[in-house]
């Protein structure tokens, strides 16, 4: 028989394992013996120290037993009193008992779970009311605020949030509604033209003062002296001034627009879907979710574009306005004649709305509504309002009593925020210096350019002089820049951007 190497290795390993197993009990016994021997020697050599340690050990054991016993007793007592811990009379509830809003409810609450459920119910109620309030405010927040409080940031689309950096120089002068000449023209016409087919008021003087910018809004003081040529002209102008200077009128306008939106949703669902796809298609794909168009935003944007840019109307018609009128004054089965009467009565403080779309036979309701919203002035506060008969009236026109007026008022709008300035600065950075555009970055760019010019053998002295002049201009801007308002900072940034572009100092 042949014995292989594998078999031999297995036998050797088996033999070793057997020896190990045989030695194992002996090794364990020997180890135990050595342990006890060492322990005995240790005790024998440290008798004095051990005498001192024994009392400490006894005390430690007793203390441990005491703490364990106390813990067990406390746990048992707490378990017995668990129900009592939930009782509200164990806690200080004086603030709730004194509060006008909770003192009645707290009388019926006895335990903590009941109080927690009460608080959760209040939170749910707050969320529900906040949603309801947000829905009611939607007409103002998403549409009327852009009309009643126009923004100083004329570069930014209020819906798409796009920034048009091409609004500079000539284009800025054409589009900027806050130019002194345009303001004088606009508000002269506002006081002069009061109604169709009515005589003009005579403007004696108009003063427009510097814009005052606050935390989030701005106002422009205006002073006007003029002559109203008749009592009718006088009253119509009072109506124009009160439309946006009276909070009740603003509330009435918002209420009408709210019901208008609800009827558009009911009647123009397919059109809304079509416009929503179109607006989102034309919006950059890298926009955030908040900047995408949902149904509400689509409605508001379309109406705003219709008012501001004469976009083709796809959402409003006379039938929708008729239903809106009925919803606004809660008119059910009553006759149309009675419903229109109720609407006219409710909106009598806004004749330019009440006495246009209210006529049942009026087939131009949609056009009249657009005209009303387009001609709606921004929010006004009246500081001084005086009038008297014109004693210098020409005898040939004496059958109509003329009135001399003086009005001092403020017109309001939304100011530019720090974020607006930062957004524009960042965009200009991408278009020019690849660093945030500022007076410092522009000055450094010019300085580096001058250094490069001096390193060239043939120096163009004209270009050098012009660049130094440009650098001096920017340094002067830099000295006063930090103290400028956000609106003026933005204008300066565009000026610097354009100057850098004109001298080919931008990177692209």
| 54-75 confidence digits (pLDDT tens) | 777 788 888 888 888 888 888 8
Give residue 12's pLDDT: 47
Sequence-separated (6 or more) residues with CB below 8 Å from residue 438: 425, 493
Q: Which tens digit of pLDDT belongs to each residue from 417-472?
A: 999 999 998 888 777 766 666 777 777 777 777 666 544 444 455 667 777 888 88
Q: Which one is predicted more confidently, 198 or 442?
A: 442
Please state the pTM of the whole predicted model: 0.72
pLDDT on residue 34: 74
pLDDT digits (tens, 9 = 90+) for 113-170: 888 898 899 899 999 999 998 888 888 999 999 999 999 999 999 998 889 988 988 8
Q: Buried b / exposed e across 120-137, counting CB within 10 Å, b at 16+?
A: eeeeeeeeeeeeeeeeee
Strands, E assignment, 415-469: none
- Residue 373 near residue 143 (C-beta atoms within 8 A): no
Rg for the chain, CA atoms, rounded: 42
- CA-nearest of 64, 177, 163, 71 to 419 is 163
For tokens 């923004």, what's the residue? 151
Domain boundaries, the chain: 1-35, 169-414, 418-502
Alpha-carbon gap, residue 107 to 287, rounded angstroms: 52
């Amino acid at each position: 028989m042949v014995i292989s190497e594998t078999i031999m290795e297995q036998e050797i390993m088996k033999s070793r394992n057997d020896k190990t197993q045989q030695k194992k009990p002996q090794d364990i016994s020997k180890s135990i013996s050595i342990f006890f021997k060492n322990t005995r020697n240790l005790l024998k050599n440290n008798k004095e120290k051990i005498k001192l340690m024994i009392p400490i050990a006894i005390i430690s054991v007793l203390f441990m037993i005491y703490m364990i016993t106390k813990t067990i007793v406390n746990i048992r007592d707490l378990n017995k009193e668990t129900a009592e811990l939930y009782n509200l009379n164990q806690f200080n509830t004086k603030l709730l008992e004194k509060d006008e809003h909770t003192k009645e409810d707290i009388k019926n609450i006895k335990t903590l779970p009941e109080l927690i459920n009460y608080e959760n119910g209040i939170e749910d109620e707050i969320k529900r009311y906040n949603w309801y309030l947000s829905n009611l405010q939607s007409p103002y927040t998403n549409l009327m605020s852009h009309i009643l409080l126009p923004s100083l940031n004329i570069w930014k689309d209020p819906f798409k949030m796009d920034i048009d950096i091409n609004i500079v120089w000539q284009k800025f002068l054409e589009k900027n509604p806050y130019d002194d000449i345009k303001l004088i023209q606009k508000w002269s016409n506002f006081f002069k033209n009061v109604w169709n087919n009515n005589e003009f008021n005579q403007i004696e003087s108009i003063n427009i003062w510097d814009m005052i910018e606050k935390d989030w809004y701005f106002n422009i003081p205006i002073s006007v002296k003029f002559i109203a040529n008749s009592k009718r002209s006088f009253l119509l102008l009072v109506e124009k001034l009160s439309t946006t200077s009276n909070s009740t009128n603003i509330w009435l306008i918002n209420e009408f627009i709210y019901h208008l939106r609800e009827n558009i949703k009911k009647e123009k669902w397919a059109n809304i879907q079509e416009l929503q796809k179109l607006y989102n298609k034309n919006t950059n794909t890298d926009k955030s979710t908040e900047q995408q168009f949902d149904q509400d935003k689509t409605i508001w944007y379309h109406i705003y574009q219709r008012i501001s840019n004469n976009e083709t109307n796809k959402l409003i018609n006379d039938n929708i306005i008729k239903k809106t009128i009925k919803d606004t004054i809660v008119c059910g089965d009553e006759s149309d004649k009675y419903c229109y009467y109720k609407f006219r009565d409710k909106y009598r403080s806004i004749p330019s709305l009440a006495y246009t779309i209210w006529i049942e036979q009026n087939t131009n309701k949609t056009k009249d509504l657009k005209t009303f919203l387009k001609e709606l002035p921004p929010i006004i506060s009246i500081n001084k309002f005086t009038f008297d008969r014109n004693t210098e009236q020409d005898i040939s026109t004496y059958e109509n009593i003329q009135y001399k007026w003086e009005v001092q008022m403020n017109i309001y709008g939304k100011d530019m925020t720090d974020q607006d300035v930062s957004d524009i600065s960042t965009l200009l950075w991408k278009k020019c210096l690849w660093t945030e555009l500022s007076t410092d970055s522009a000055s450094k760019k010019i300085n580096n350019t001058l250094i490069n010019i001096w390193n060239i053998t043939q120096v163009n002295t004209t270009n050098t002089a012009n660049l130094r002049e440009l650098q001096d201009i920017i340094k002067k801007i830099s000295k006063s820049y930090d103290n400028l308002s956000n609106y003026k900072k933005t204008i300066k940034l565009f000026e610097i951007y354009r100057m850098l572009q004109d001298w080919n100092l931008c990177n692209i």
